[in-house]
Amino acid sequence: MKTFFIMLTAASLLYGSYTSDADSQTVYDDQTDLTWEDGVNHLRAWGDAIDYCESLNIVGTGDWRLPSVNELLSIVDYNGAASAVNPAFNFLINQPHWSATTDATDSTYAWYVNFSDGYSRSFPKAVRRYVRCVRKGKLSGSQNANTATLPAIFYLLQ
């Protein structure tokens, strides 16, 4: 019983608010009420990253967009030992990811977040970076099977 509580505590610390869905390749964060695309990675210039998210359709839902820099920072794992990649994600990698926020000092630059250690940096929009799309709310088509509410338990048991 005690062990169970310790595990539960560890689980909520590390992955508390995240639910990953393998079928739709998305991760839902119930603290921010955001659903994140968690599919295969492609490098895209900033404008192409926006167009990609605008045209993305997952299980019939098309209201995806490129995240703001603050939204992107909300999934940084500040406690990660090896990287700032949030362990609730399957495909997120330790590389720079574009945000939809433009640098106020130079509109040819936008902000990215690097999940190597979670820093943000302003960079030329023409450069190709990785992309994670986001949308507000839970995906209605994704509450079927394979939904792991506390994925940390699986990690701990391995």
Partner 1 sequence: MFKSIIVISITFLFSCAESYVLKTGQTVEYKTGDNGTYHALTGVERSYSRDNINGIVSDHSTNLQWQDYYEEGKIYRTDWTAANTYCTKLHLKGVGWRLPTRYELTTIVDYSQSHPAINTTFFQVTASGTYWSSTSYMKPESANAWRTNFNDGGDYVSKKENVNFVRCVRGAK
**d(Cα 76, Cα 58) in Å, to the nearest integer?**
23
Our finding on whether 47 is near partner 1 (CB under 8 A) is: yes
Residues 65-84 that bind partner 1 (CB under 8 A): 65-71, 73-74, 78, 80-81
Length of the chain: 158
**Nearest Cα residue to 99 out of 131, 53, 62:** 131
| Residue among 51 and 154 whose Cβ is closer to partner 1 | 51
Interacting residues of 76 by C-beta distance below 8 A, sequence separation 6+: 84, 86, 113, 115, 118
Residue pair 122/110 in contact (Cβ under 8 Å)? The answer is yes
Find the shortest distance in angstroms from Cβ 38 to partner 1.
Answer: 18
> What is the CB-side half-sphere exposure of residue 143 using CA atoms within 13 A?
4
Our finding on whether 100 is near partner 1 (CB under 8 A) is: yes
Our finding on whether 35 is near partner 1 (CB under 8 A) is: no
Find the shortest distance in angstroms from Cβ 130 to partner 1.
Answer: 17
Find the shortest distance in angstroms from Cβ 147 to partner 1.
Answer: 20
**Among 21, 26, 53, 85, interactor with partner 1 by CB under 8 A:** 53
Binding span for partner 1 by CB under 8 A among 20-28, 29-37, 88-96, 147-155? 29-37
Residue pair 17/28 in contact (Cβ under 8 Å)? The answer is no
| Residue among 73 and 139 whose Cβ is closer to partner 1 | 73
